[in-house]
Chains A and B, each alone.
Chain A
């Protein structure tokens, strides 16, 4: 394979990897701070994409203003807020009741929510996907990177996601707000004694993790068709990413997400039949050698 071809496959791998990174980051935050395995993450990612699609294509006609569209940039703000809000409701009224029980209950609850959301959307929308027509004019077209032609929009998605991921990492690991969050998980009683409302903090954190999924959904909408199953297709791989990175490790989720995107991209070029399995193969190897994951701390 020529150098150009390798570089090109690297770019493609990266454009897949940023979605793994964004989604596994949200999962890692939720798991790390709340100890909840959020199986609804994929469905909430799908919901994020649908908010963008509905805002652009359907909302105007519903309100009797056929010419009105909610643009891509608005969706990038509105969708995470709406879906994050839904996430907070889920945490406040459903998940909170299960904290005293085994992990499996939270997992089952969120899995059920995922099935309900997917079923609802499959009922009303085309299951093979609906195109999202709202990609901004300024980001359409292709750029010549020297070694390949690359869609401008994907380049934007890569850069934007990386910035979001590392900003999140910085806030949680390097600021006092993040320190309070981490302490709240370690010893909620003590943190409450400092006058901090821990349950509210947990709700906000869950909402933030979910908002990241919705943000990824909006970013994915112009690339992939918006379909009720888009999250279900992705979530299993994303869980593998979280396991490889180390359950709950923030940096681990980001780096592993990007790295596995690259590995998958290169596998597609070298031996396509293994493209869907290579991540799980890596997961098995990592679990055998480092059961806590690449970035996880052995307890």
Chain B
């Protein structure tokens, strides 16, 4: 290492230190939103670069400034690792004055960052992770869970399948918090409706070849093979189930968490007929079509429910800051709790004291290739699951904050 390199390094360090010092103070001169997400890993198609674009759109649509201060955006890749995510969040909050963190796909990441941000009195709006724990035993005053959770997902899908004769269930489960949580709540719905769980197998996150697990599921004699996983895992499992002719021999597949990007990756030929629950589909209302078209123009792909959720959450946050007249977390959180959220994503949404934002969910069916009229004409909305049925009632929540 030569001398000039060292000098440059010191200079850069001094500059960064100076900048951090200058920005510190009671009012930091800007409102800063941080998108913490998976930019290139297994969940990047669900909430990756697309969610950053969604947040940019929200800031743009809001006018680029709030309370006379510019709105800034930061984004980072958490690499699906809770420790990486925590250190980014810590740096954002302590040094970069990030006021709100959105995104956080992957429940392990979501829980870690929500805990850390709460200790530092910073609002998190989780749009990507599914674990119900975010608003249950590990709920926090500053943590908001916005798009979907493992309680809401099975309600529509499992009910529809059990009612159509799928009584015996076998689970292929992603082996971490989210998968277990999803399996538990799906099994609850199945049992309540008179079905039974005949077996389950835990597959590591990022499994390439599911055929071994599918074979076990297939020989279990189950009517329904439920995939309690997400992203690439779901895509691979469905593709391989198709390849081994499992669906052709009479067993049904239930994707407990499927995103639009997964259907796109599978192709209609393979995915046709698959039913699942989603918080958003672009081709549902005039407003959702209009926004999604703008998103498509920028990103080249239609938004997933998470992309739409990032937009909606960011916009709601900015409105709350404006209404509160400050970016101070307690005041903004109070405002978020009082206001009604209305946009193309949610109608009359409100954020409960435990951080949950209950809203309508939709049971959808993947179209047959012959029904599809365009590259993104993939789903048909079968029914709407009202918010009060989809999500756990606040009085049933195990969140310790509610007792206070």
Query: Do A and B belong to a common assembly?
Result: yes
- List the interface of chain A (C-beta within 8 A of B): 5, 8-9, 12-13, 15-16, 122, 126-131, 133, 141-142, 148-151, 153-154, 223-225, 227, 229, 233-234, 265, 268-269, 272-273, 275-276
Knowing A12-B215, A272-B203, A276-B204 are in contact, say whether A127-B48 is a contact too (CB < 8 A): yes
Q: Is the interface of A mostly helix, strand, loop or mixed?
A: mixed
Knowing A273-B202, A275-B204 are in contact, say whether A128-B267 is a contact too (CB < 8 A): no
Which size class do B's interface residues fall under? 35 or more
For this complex, 13 residue pairs linking A to B, each with C-beta atoms less than 8 Å apart, are: A8-B215, A15-B209, A127-B45, A127-B48, A128-B231, A129-B232, A129-B265, A130-B265, A131-B266, A133-B269, A224-B209, A234-B208, A269-B212
A142 and B262 form a contact (CB under 8 A): no
B48 and A148 form a contact (CB under 8 A): no
Residues on A with C-beta less than 8 A from B44 are 122, 127-128
Instruction: Please report the C-alpha to C-alpha distance between residue A243 and residue B265 in the assembled complex, in whole angstroms.
Output: 34
A129 and B235 form a contact (CB under 8 A): yes
Question: Which residue on A lies nearest to B204, using beta carbons?
Answer: A276
B40 and A229 form a contact (CB under 8 A): yes
Given A154-B243, A229-B41, 13 other A-B residues pairs in contact with their CB atoms under 8 A: A5-B215, A12-B212, A15-B211, A126-B45, A128-B262, A128-B265, A131-B265, A151-B243, A151-B245, A225-B265, A229-B40, A233-B208, A269-B216
Instruction: Please report the C-alpha to C-alpha distance between residue A131 and residue B369 in the assembled complex, in whole angstroms.
Output: 15
B212 and A273 form a contact (CB under 8 A): no
A149 and B235 form a contact (CB under 8 A): no
Residues on B with C-beta less than 8 A from A149 are 244-245, 249
Residues on A with C-beta less than 8 A from B177 are none
- Which residues of B215-250 have CB atoms within 8 Å of chain A's CB atoms? 215-216, 219, 231-232, 235-236, 239-240, 243-245, 249
Smallest distance from the beta carbon of B79 to chain A beta carbons, Å? Answer: 12
Name the contact of B40 in the complex, choosing from A9, A122, A234 (C-beta under 8 A): A122
Residues on A with C-beta less than 8 A from B203 are 272, 275
Instruction: Please report the C-alpha to C-alpha distance between residue A133 and residue B239 in the assembled complex, in whole angstroms.
Output: 12
Question: Which residue on B lies nearest to A123, using beta carbons?
Answer: B49
Residues on A with C-beta less than 8 A from B291 are none
B215 and A142 form a contact (CB under 8 A): no
A128 and B212 form a contact (CB under 8 A): no
Residues on A with C-beta less than 8 A from B249 are 149
Question: Which residue on B lies nearest to A269, using beta carbons?
Answer: B212
Residues on B with C-beta less than 8 A from A225 are 232, 235-236, 239, 265-266
* B201 touches A (CB below 8 Å): yes
Instruction: Please report the C-alpha to C-alpha distance between residue A148 and residue B244 in the assembled complex, in whole angstroms.
Output: 10
B213 and A268 form a contact (CB under 8 A): yes
Residues on A with C-beta less than 8 A from B42 are 128
Knowing A12-B211, A229-B40 are in contact, say whether A142-B245 is a contact too (CB < 8 A): yes
A272 and B245 form a contact (CB under 8 A): no
* B157 touches A (CB below 8 Å): no
Instruction: Please report the C-alpha to C-alpha distance between residue A117 and residue B338 in the assembled complex, in whole angstroms.
Output: 49
* B288 touches A (CB below 8 Å): no
Instruction: Please report the C-alpha to C-alpha distance between residue A142 and residue B247 in the assembled complex, in whole angstroms.
Output: 12
* B185 touches A (CB below 8 Å): no
Residues on A with C-beta less than 8 A from B244 are 142, 149-151
- List the interface of chain B (C-beta within 8 A of A): 40-42, 44-46, 48, 175, 201-204, 206-209, 211-213, 215-216, 219, 231-232, 235-236, 239-240, 243-245, 249, 261-262, 264-267, 269-270, 301
Instruction: Please report the C-alpha to C-alpha distance between residue A269 and residue B216 in the assembled complex, in whole angstroms.
Output: 8
Smallest distance from the beta carbon of A254 to chain B beta carbons, Å? Answer: 20
Q: Is the interface of B mostly helix, strand, loop or mixed?
A: helix
Residues on A with C-beta less than 8 A from B261 are 126, 128
Name the contact of B208 in the complex, choosing from A9, A224, A269 (C-beta under 8 A): A224
Residues on B with C-beta less than 8 A from A275 are 203-204, 207, 212
Instruction: Please report the C-alpha to C-alpha distance between residue A149 and residue B203 in the assembled complex, in whole angstroms.
Output: 22
Residues on A with C-beta less than 8 A from B239 are 131, 224-225
Question: 4 closest A-B pairs (Cβ-Cβ)?
Answer: A128-B45, A268-B212, A131-B267, A142-B245
Residues on B with C-beta less than 8 A from A273 are 175, 202, 204
Question: Which residue on B lies nearest to A220, using beta carbons?
Answer: B208
Instruction: Please report the C-alpha to C-alpha distance between residue A225 and residue B209 in the assembled complex, in whole angstroms.
Output: 11
Residues on A with C-beta less than 8 A from B175 are 272-273
Instruction: Please report the C-alpha to C-alpha distance between residue A268 and residue B213 in the assembled complex, in whole angstroms.
Output: 7
Instruction: Please report the C-alpha to C-alpha distance between residue A225 and residue B271 in the assembled complex, in whole angstroms.
Output: 13
Smallest distance from the beta carbon of B148 to chain A beta carbons, Å? Answer: 18
Smallest distance from the beta carbon of A258 to chain B beta carbons, Å? Answer: 15
Smallest distance from the beta carbon of B74 to chain A beta carbons, Å? Answer: 21
Instruction: Please report the C-alpha to C-alpha distance between residue A276 and residue B219 in the assembled complex, in whole angstroms.
Output: 23
Q: Which of A5, A129, A130, A223 lies at the interface centre, i.e. has the most chain B CB atoms within 10 A of its CB?
A: A129
Question: Which residue on B lies nearest to A149, using beta carbons?
Answer: B245
B243 and A265 form a contact (CB under 8 A): no
Instruction: Please report the C-alpha to C-alpha distance between residue A154 and residue B214 in the assembled complex, in whole angstroms.
Output: 15
Residues on A with C-beta less than 8 A from B245 are 141-142, 149, 151
Instruction: Please report the C-alpha to C-alpha distance between residue A13 and residue B215 in the assembled complex, in whole angstroms.
Output: 12
Instruction: Please report the C-alpha to C-alpha distance between residue A150 and residue B240 in the assembled complex, in whole angstroms.
Output: 11
Smallest distance from the beta carbon of B249 to chain A beta carbons, Å? Answer: 8
A227 and B243 form a contact (CB under 8 A): no
Residues on A with C-beta less than 8 A from B209 are 12, 15-16, 224
Question: Which residue on A lies nearest to B175, using beta carbons?
Answer: A273
Residues on B with C-beta less than 8 A from A223 are 240, 243
Instruction: Please report the C-alpha to C-alpha distance between residue A256 and residue B2 in the assembled complex, in whole angstroms.
Output: 46
Instruction: Please report the C-alpha to C-alpha distance between residue A285 and residue B249 in the assembled complex, in whole angstroms.
Output: 42
Question: Which residue on B lies nearest to A226, using beta carbons?
Answer: B265
B232 and A128 form a contact (CB under 8 A): yes
Residues on A with C-beta less than 8 A from B219 are 5
Residues on B with C-beta less than 8 A from A234 are 208
Smallest distance from the beta carbon of A60 to chain B beta carbons, Å? Answer: 16
Knowing A127-B44, A225-B265, A233-B208 are in contact, say whether A272-B201 is a contact too (CB < 8 A): yes
Smallest distance from the beta carbon of B46 to chain A beta carbons, Å? Answer: 8
Smallest distance from the beta carbon of A268 to chain B beta carbons, Å? Answer: 4
Name the contact of A133 in the complex, choosing from B201, B213, B264, B267 (C-beta under 8 A): B267
Residues on A with C-beta less than 8 A from B206 are 233, 276
Residues on A with C-beta less than 8 A from B46 are 128
Q: Which of B212, B239, B264 lies at the interface centre, i.e. has the most chain A CB atoms within 10 A of its CB?
A: B212
Smallest distance from the beta carbon of B81 to chain A beta carbons, Å? Answer: 16
A9 and B232 form a contact (CB under 8 A): no
Residues on B with C-beta less than 8 A from A9 are 212, 215
Instruction: Please report the C-alpha to C-alpha distance between residue A225 and residue B233 in the assembled complex, in whole angstroms.
Output: 11
